Amino acid sequence: MVKISIAQRVLAVNDDVAAEIHAQLARRSIRCINMMSSAGAGKTSLLEESIRRLRGRLAVGVIEGDIETTADAERIAAAGGESVQIVTRGNCHLEATMVRDALSQLDLDRIDLLVIENIGNLVCPAEWKLGEDVKVVVASTTEGDDKPAKYPQMFAASQVMVVNKIDLLPYVSYDLQRVKEFASRVNPALKFFELSCRTGEGMDAWCDWLVDFAAGGKD
């Protein structure tokens, strides 16, 4: 007799719902990013600045995940993006059922690209599929350059790595080459962006990639 753990069963059910979400978005030619990071890496700031810069080029919708408050969804709406907030009340990651419910609150006819901003956590979110086309992990120069070595599963599961807050490199002990080497050992196919939401450095390349990525879902 083969015993399947409760965790495996829960993940299998989650994966089925994630597949439904992916199919729903694909029918509308909407591409989806699952954006993950530790707390404070700057995901919301990155999305705010991206939405502002992409106005007129790409319509971005955001599902915000937080343990408490609706502050981040309000920030996204103020920047000009379609947004809906998921408040998990203690859950350290988003699950596909949460995303499925949130989708019903978005006007998908007005969206070219959907970004799911996951809970700030470098452990749990890596395992949970949400219907995304790609996973993007955001790191920042203020949190140490050893994160890919300490949390390899997150970087192995992602297709894109953004290093944020590069304007602070002169003031922090952070070796950009070292973090990229660590991440590449875990995932040699990882694509890198280095940028600063505050100064705008590197934002053009990131936004151009978002436009190209979103266009990949169009017929």
The answer to whether residue 38 is domain-embedded is yes
What's the domain count of the chain?
1
Cβ-count burial 96-119 (b if 16+ within 10 Å, e if not): bebbbebbeebeeeebbbbbbbbb
Distance of CA 142 to the CA centre of its chain: 19
Q: Is residue 159 part of a domain?
A: yes
Q: Is residue 1 part of a domain?
A: no
pLDDT at 6: 59
Residue type, 133: D
Any idea what the CATH number is for the domain that residue 141 is in? 3.40.50.300
- Which residue range(s) make up the domain with 131? 6-215
CA atoms of 188 and 51, how far apart (whole Å): 29
Considering the domain boundaries, does residue 63 fall inside one? yes
Within-domain flag for 80: yes
CA distance 6 to 160: 31
CA separation for the pair 63, 200 (Å, rounded) = 24
Angle, helix 71-79 to helix 43-54, in steps of 10 degrees: 20
Domain presence at residue 72? yes
| pTM for the structure as a whole | 0.92
Q: Residue 219's pLDDT is what?
A: 41
**Residue 27 covered by a domain:** yes
Q: What is the mean pLDDT of each run of 10 residues along the chain (219 residues)?
A: 61 94 97 97 97 96 92 93 91 94 95 97 94 98 95 97 98 96 97 97 98 80
